[in-house]
Amino acid sequence: MTSRMPAAAATLALLLLTLAGRSFAAPSVILDTEQVEAARQHGALVWDVRGAGAWRQGHIPGAVNIDEVTGALRNDNTEDYLPLPEIERKLGRAGIDPQREIVVYGPKGAPGVYFALVTLQYFGATKALIYHGGIDDWMAAGKPVTAEATVARPVTLKLGTRPELLVDTKDVIARLKDPSVQILDVRTPAEFRGEDIRAIRGGHIPGAIAIDYQNNQVDPDAVTKFERRLVANKDGLNLKSRDELKKLYSALDPDKETIVYCQSGVRASETATVLQEIGFTKVKVYDSSWLGYGNTLAAPAEDVSFVNVGMLTGRLSALQKRLDAMEKEMAAMKAAKP
């Protein structure tokens, strides 16, 4: 017996050294249909983040809803989070307790679903999961849907936050020349170049790397193709494989602090989650994103452009005249009917 101990000890030591040098990926937070079904069976809360109208038409049985999430939890003008007490009340009324296991879903591949996921994580959730395929994959798999409203058990919430997950405009400006920080712009190329202006000015944060979030998908043009009925389903909205995603973000260092931004933090939430899935460990979402940065005129920017207010006003005026004329024509047609 004793003569075998050194060999056994040596084998164990070798195994421990091997394990110590090996990196293990964290469990995925992105679920497929069968995993969602399994989560439901063991009591996970399901949160449908679509608008209330879509939810009432049909949802996963038992799913709760607070209306479309990006509007329900944010200020309409600034698109920043509502005051914490309001969020506590809204989530609490629907029984959405971040301490529970929660599966969030909506339309397939919708970035707003990822915004809900990041929101839960920001409020302390450690068991928040996302169903990327959403209601589309659920129905395609022949799973049941219901129009019956879920009667939620309300909870009283006192939410804490994880400030390390988000950055604000001051944080971003302070990090512009920090070599240990990389900034990722996930908007469209036109937004990045300052051609599509969605704030006081267009452009991008100096030094930002541009990778449109839609490139996470098997087909970046999937939404357009589906809307134009060029394809019969939304399979193009599936996420690329991990190897393909690693290749897509190969210009970035997974060990650096990575700040992700878009227009208001929604699209950024998807890419931030994807980066974490492929091994990035210091990912932060710039919540205000370009809406906050572009409206901060003192913040340095590249490819800067400004809205031509006069031309915009002229176009709006011309559009209003066309609407007025159409209303008059419709009124005249109604009056001419016997």
* Beta-strand pair 201-204/302-306: antiparallel
259 strand-pairing partners: 183, 284
DSSP string, 132-175: TTHHHHHHHTT---B-SPP------------GGGEE-HHHHHHT
Q: Which CATH number fits domain 164-309: 3.30.110.70, 3.40.1280.10, 3.90.950.10, 3.40.250.10?
A: 3.40.250.10
CB atoms within 10 A of CB 320: 10
* Beta-strand pair 128-131/30-31: parallel
d(CA 195, CA 187): 12
Portions of the chain given CATH number 3.40.250.10:
30-161, 164-309
d(CA 104, CA 116): 7
Please, what is the Cα angle at 186 between 135 and 284, to 5 degrees?
Answer: 90
Give Cβ neighbours of residue 304 (< 8 Å, ≥ 6 apart): 194, 201, 202, 203
CB 62 within 8 A of CB 89: no
Dihedral sign, CA of 319, 321, 322, 328?
positive
Helices (H), the chain: 5-20, 33-41, 52-57, 69-72, 84-93, 111-122, 134-140, 169-174, 189-192, 222-227, 242-248, 266-277, 289-294, 309-336
Place of tokens 């016997």: 338
Dihedral sign, CA of 156, 39, 111, 245?
positive
pLDDT confidence of residue 312: 62
Q: Going residue by residue through the chain (338 aa), what tens digit of pLDDT does each one get? A: 334 445 545 444 444 444 444 444 568 999 999 999 999 999 999 999 999 999 999 999 999 999 999 999 999 988 999 999 999 999 999 999 999 999 999 999 999 999 999 999 999 999 999 999 999 999 999 999 999 999 889 999 999 999 999 999 999 999 999 999 999 999 999 999 999 999 999 999 999 999 999 999 999 999 999 999 999 999 999 999 999 999 999 999 999 999 999 999 999 999 999 999 999 999 999 999 999 999 999 999 999 998 765 556 666 677 777 777 777 777 777 777 76
Supply 219's token pair: 């087909």
pTM of structure? 0.85
Rg of the chain taking only CA atoms, in angstroms? 24
d(CA 321, CA 222): 36
CATH architecture of residue range(s) 30-161:
3-Layer(aba) Sandwich (3.40)
What number of residues does the chain have? 338
